[in-house]
Amino acid sequence: MKRVLSLGLVAAMSLGLAACGSSQTAATTAAAKEETTAAAAEGTTAAAEETTAAAPEGEKPFAGQKLTVSTFSFNAELLQKNVYDPFMEKTGAELVIETGKNAERVTKIEESPENYDVVIIGDSFAAQLAKDGMLESVDRSALTNLDSIYDSAKAPMGEEFGPAYTFNRLGIVYDPETCTTEIKSFADLWNPELEGSIAIPDITTTSGPLFYYGTAAAFGLEPGKDDDAIFAKLAELKPNVVKTYTSANDTITMLNQGEASVALLLDYSYTSAKQANDAYVWVDPAEGSFSGFNMLNIVKGCENKELAQAFIDFYLSKEVQEAEALDGVDSPVNTAVELTAEQAQNFTYGAEMVNGLIVPDWDLITEKKAEWIEKWNNLFSVQ
């Protein structure tokens, strides 16, 4: 049985945040949003000028081709500015962007893989797609930016599949005005003083398995081996749980309205929470930082594989990774991106932090997912 490994030793996750799915042509969306800020226009132009240097002047290597991308729904405008517009300018290709909840997107891809070329999705859902044979192998020699990213991001699910483009980590967030109990670890969440005040991620979300592993670590237990004991500890926690959430946005609203005092959130969700209340406190649990990652993969049967690989490579470039980090979208995996302490605040950033992350066994999670969901629902079905 595999045990939890430090990410620094792994050769390797909102969540898709819950949101309604949608489909749009990126080029059409860009045309409809001609009025952008001067800074956004400048950033887009700079990225486009940098990336067009790879092709002979005036030539668009993928002109007339189309790429359909399944991705998250949050930060759509920033992704348009930092990724989609510059890529279309560089290649001449058309991007069709379809967004939605992770589980729904997996279902759509498995039902109609021919409708998709690239999938951008969290770790456990990527593992599910891989298990079900829905992912195409990636020609790693075609990824010119691969050597510029952290080793642990290059092949988190094996050499056959795509890279991770960002890491995230699970932390404890609390409002010091409504939570007077000191919290330093996952184990502290079991304090009776926190009765009816904690929001935890549902097991079906990206961060759910990370919390499951955090619970196990808090009590010296091993997922897959000690599952009954882990669920017994979760049963003990239940009186303190005010909500098992599927939407981090809704959970942040609960914090803002005083309906919850403590929440288990991924780092980028904390960034959003801080915008509402700068007093919120982030805790890296004493048991360690359990980490997820988001991946770039090609859907099985993709007819435009060369274009798909060019898109993945572009996503890993310093220019895109830096733009996304500066706009507060994603933590960069490209090691050439340099951020100030203020810019990197709340991000999973830097070699020391990245190498200290703890990555769950996603193969085990995929194997046990149905069983864990059933037990979870039996425990938390009444909220």
259 shares its domain with 302? no
81 shares its domain with 163? yes
User: Which phi and psi angles does 277 have, rounded to 5°?
Assistant: -150, 105
Q: 97-136 pLDDT, tens per residue?
A: 999 988 899 999 999 999 999 999 999 899 999 999 999 9
pLDDT at 31: 43
- Whether pTM > 0.85 for this model: the answer is no
Domain count, the chain: 2
237 within domain boundaries: yes
Q: 278-336 pLDDT, tens per residue?
A: 999 999 999 999 999 999 999 999 999 999 999 999 999 999 999 999 998 999 999 99
Which CATH number covers residue 233?
3.40.190.10
354 within domain boundaries: no
284 shares its domain with 300? no
What is d(CA 202, CA 375) in angstroms, rounded to the nearest whole number? Answer: 12
Query: pLDDT at residue 59 above 60?
Result: yes
> Under DSSP, is residue 152 helix (H, G, I), strand (E, B) or coil?
helix
Instruction: Yes or no: say if 129 and 109 are a contact pair by the CB < 8 Å rule.
Output: yes
223 within domain boundaries: yes
Mean pLDDT confidence for 47-59? 49
pLDDT at 58: 64
136 shares its domain with 40? yes
- Percent of the chain as helix, strand, coil, to the nearest 5: 45, 15, 40
73 shares its domain with 213? no
Query: pLDDT at residue 46 above 90?
Result: no
Mean pLDDT confidence for 79-106? 96
pLDDT at 35: 40
Q: Please report which confidence band the pLDDT of residue 41 belongs to, taking 50, 70 and 90 as the band edges.
A: very low
17 within domain boundaries: yes
Instruction: Yes or no: say if 327 and 151 are a contact pair by the CB < 8 Å rule.
Output: no
pLDDT at 50: 44
Q: Please report which confidence band the pLDDT of residue 39 belongs to, taking 50, 70 and 90 as the band edges.
A: very low
What is d(CA 331, CA 346) in angstroms, rounded to the nearest whole number? Answer: 9
162 shares its domain with 246? no
Query: pLDDT at residue 48 above 70?
Result: no
16 shares its domain with 131? yes
Q: 157-207 pLDDT, tens per residue?
A: 999 999 999 999 999 999 999 999 999 999 999 999 999 999 999 999 889
pLDDT at 42: 43
Residue among 252, 251, 243, 250 nearest 276 (CA)? 252
Query: pLDDT at residue 29 above 80?
Result: no
pLDDT at 158: 92
Share of the chain above pLDDT 70, in %: 84
342 within domain boundaries: yes
213 shares its domain with 90? no
17 shares its domain with 101? yes
Half-sphere exposure of 172 (CA within 13 A, CB side): 25
pLDDT at 56: 55
Residue 266's DSSP bridge partners are 170
What is d(CA 358, CA 288) in angstroms, rounded to the nearest whole number? Answer: 7
> Under DSSP, is residue 57 helix (H, G, I), strand (E, B) or coil?
coil
317 shares its domain with 369? no
pLDDT at 30: 44
101 within domain boundaries: yes
Query: pLDDT at residue 383 above 70?
Result: no
3 within domain boundaries: no
Q: Between the CA of residue 298 and those of 7, 130, 134, 136, 259, what are the distances in Å?
A: 24, 10, 9, 5, 41
Mean per-residue pLDDT over the chain, rounded: 87
Q: What's the domain range around 322?
A: 9-167+293-347
Q: 219-230 pLDDT, tens per residue?
A: 999 999 999 999
Instruction: Yes or no: say if 83 and 102 are a contact pair by the CB < 8 Å rule.
Output: no
Instruction: Yes or no: say if 302 and 136 are a contact pair by the CB < 8 Å rule.
Output: yes
What is d(CA 222, CA 213) in angstroms, rounded to the nearest whole number? Answer: 8
Q: Is 219 exposed, middle or buried (0-12, 13-18, 19+ CB in 10 A)?
A: middle
What is d(CA 378, CA 355) in angstroms, rounded to the nearest whole number? Answer: 36
pLDDT at 174: 97
145 shares its domain with 245? no
272 within domain boundaries: yes
Instruction: Yes or no: say if 122 and 13 are a contact pair by the CB < 8 Å rule.
Output: yes
264 shares its domain with 304? no
